[in-house]
Amino acid sequence: MPSRNSPPQRSQDRKRKTHTKSRRGCGNCKLRRVKCDEAKPGCKKCISYGVSCNYDTKASELDLSANGAFQVEFWQESEKLQSSPVCINQSMVTMIDDSLKAATLAALGNEKEWKFTEEDLEIVKRFQSRTVMTIGTSYSAPMYRDSITVLAFSHPFLMHMILSLTLLHDAHHASSSSSSLSFAYTTLSLHHWNTATAIFNNVLSQPIKPSSRDALWATAALIGALVFAFVESPDVEQAWPLRASDPHDLDWLKLSEGKKAIWQIAEPTREDSVFRLLAKERESNPVPGWIADNDLSGLSPELKALFNLRPDSTVHNNPYHLPVIILLRLQSFIPNHDNVLNFLYFMGYMTPEFRILLEIKDPRALLLLGWWFKRVEVCEIWWMRRRAQVEGKAIAVWLGRWFGGEKGLAETFSRIGGGSSGNGTVGEGKELGRGGMNPFTEWWHAGEVE
């Protein structure tokens, strides 16, 4: 009888069975650490779970997920998904959570506390079928739809940004029927926004992996819409520029510079990018020549005097020069998904000098921003409207107080309108207002300013 401390006796003919670990399994099975039958073009486990199967021997296991091995096809109708949606959803949730956990561990060195749930999956579905189609232009939106969700499965910062933007879109839809529901959506949106920002900044502080570049640009595109859409309060008195100054004032403008930096890092027009078609959009929508031109011949004398525009004025010596020209060119457009880039030129080509004027609440700079808001507030794109409506009215109130009430402001509007007749023209018959009304007078009354 062996002693208590002695190891157990083993039979000499009993040997541990050896096995060879498969290196040829698909990306999903490697991610889930399950045995793959290596059937092609799709293994049985991937088929049973309703996900696409991918074999890519040139990429690492994590890169497989980033490059399409983990493409959950929940946006496609199929008999398999319809037959057992609960089981399939649970499997998808598990696989997405495993992928996000592995990605977080690789990027941050620790696992995330947050767990991806079936409720999150439903939010992602709403993003895929609705929210993403409001990002970019009518040309680029389908490209974002086909690419962003797949990237998010292996990039936690992008996943949180998707959840945040979609929940804010939900809040927008709920605002007309239930303020409490809208508030709940907004609160949860801000939670995901904070998490996404923390992870995103951490990733940017380290050497950028090539496999992360597309996800970085996708996140930047969503942040642009999110920051512009989020307005803390519909109360005009609590909106900029009326509220007390805050370091976060005009964050939506400052972000445009950050997006330019991300564009340089991510290079989304490179040949191996999923967003490479953006290069074609840029070619078909080149920067208008009039942005670089100094042609002031179409401006009225009153407008030139108000903004100190002279024959020798340029974007370099007059901060009002380019905003005025851009706004005049926009007067014939009604903003929509097809021409939205024309309206975004106002932000994208804003000079640091003009932005400083806005920060110090220069009246003429505010007048131009208010003019732009008045055009944008009727845009069909949801994330552009609310800020334009709320802060546009706040600017009207601020200017009214600055210029001594409606009468003083009306005189200023009249100067911009080309005279005291209120015919709404700024030069050479270009009409600004609807029905002959000066747009600034219309803007004033629309704000119901006392």
Q: Annotate 126-137 with DSSP letters as a single string.
A: HHHHTGGGGSS-
Give the angle 51-56-62 at the CA atoms, nearest 5°. Answer: 75
For residue 418, what are its two tokens? Answer: 């080309």
Q: pLDDT digit string (tens) for 129-170?
A: 999 999 988 888 888 998 999 999 999 999 999 999 999 999
Q: Which residue has better confidence, 358 or 426?
A: 358
User: Residue 382: what pLDDT?
Assistant: 94
Residue 293 — pLDDT band, cuts 50, 70, 90?
low
Whether residue 443 is predicted with pLDDT greater than 60 in this model: the reply is no
Whether residue 276 is predicted with pLDDT greater than 90 in this model: the reply is no
User: Residue 247: what pLDDT?
Assistant: 86
Q: pLDDT digit string (tens) for 322-332?
A: 898 888 888 77
User: Residue 7: what pLDDT?
Assistant: 43
Q: Which residue has better confidence, 213 or 58?
A: 213
Residue 337 — pLDDT band, cuts 50, 70, 90?
confident
CA distance 251 to 355: 11
- Tell me what percent of the residues of the chain surpass a pLDDT of 70: 69
Collapsing DSSP to helix, strand or coil, 191 comes out as helix
For residue 374, what are its two tokens? Answer: 């008045």
Q: Residue 295: phi, psi to the nearest 5?
A: -80, 110
Q: How far is CA 280 from CA 145, 274, 277, 348, in A?
A: 17, 13, 5, 19
User: Residue 356: what pLDDT?
Assistant: 93
For residue 235, what are its two tokens? Answer: 């109360």
Whether residue 196 is predicted with pLDDT greater than 90 in this model: the reply is yes
User: Hey, which of 142-151, 278-287, 310-319, 341-350 has the most confident mean pLDDT?
Assistant: 142-151
Whether residue 296 is predicted with pLDDT greater than 60 in this model: the reply is yes
Q: Which residue has better confidence, 405 or 347?
A: 347
The helix (H) or strand (E) run that includes residue 360 is: none
Whether residue 60 is predicted with pLDDT greater than 50 in this model: the reply is no
User: Residue 31: what pLDDT?
Assistant: 63
Q: pLDDT digit string (tens) for 66-89?
A: 333 344 444 444 444 444 444 567
CA distance 382 to 378: 10
- What would you report as the CA-atom Rg of the chain, rounded to the nearest whole angstrom? 28
Residue 188 — pLDDT band, cuts 50, 70, 90?
very high
- The neighbour count for residue 349, using CB atoms within 10 Å, is 18
Q: Residue range 282-301: average pLDDT? A: 66
CA distance 130 to 212: 25
Domains of the chain plus CATH, in order, are 22-88 (4.10.240.10), 117-283 (no CATH), 287-446 (no CATH)
CA distance 203 to 206: 6
Q: Residue range 338-347: average pLDDT? A: 86
Q: Residue 126: phi, psi to the nearest 5?
A: -65, -35
CA distance 135 to 151: 16
User: Residue 111: what pLDDT?
Assistant: 58
Q: Residue 85: phi, psi to the nearest 5?
A: -65, -35
Whether residue 116 is predicted with pLDDT greater than 80 in this model: the reply is yes
Q: Residue range 179-194: average pLDDT? A: 95
Whether residue 423 is predicted with pLDDT greater than 80 in this model: the reply is no
Q: Residue range 406-417: average pLDDT? A: 59
Q: Packing angle between helix 251-266 and helix 213-229, nearest 10 degrees?
A: 170
HEC assignment per residue over 380-445? CCHHHHHHHHHHHHHHHHHHHHHCCHHHHHHHHHHHHHCCCCCCCECCCCCECCCCCCCHHHHHHH
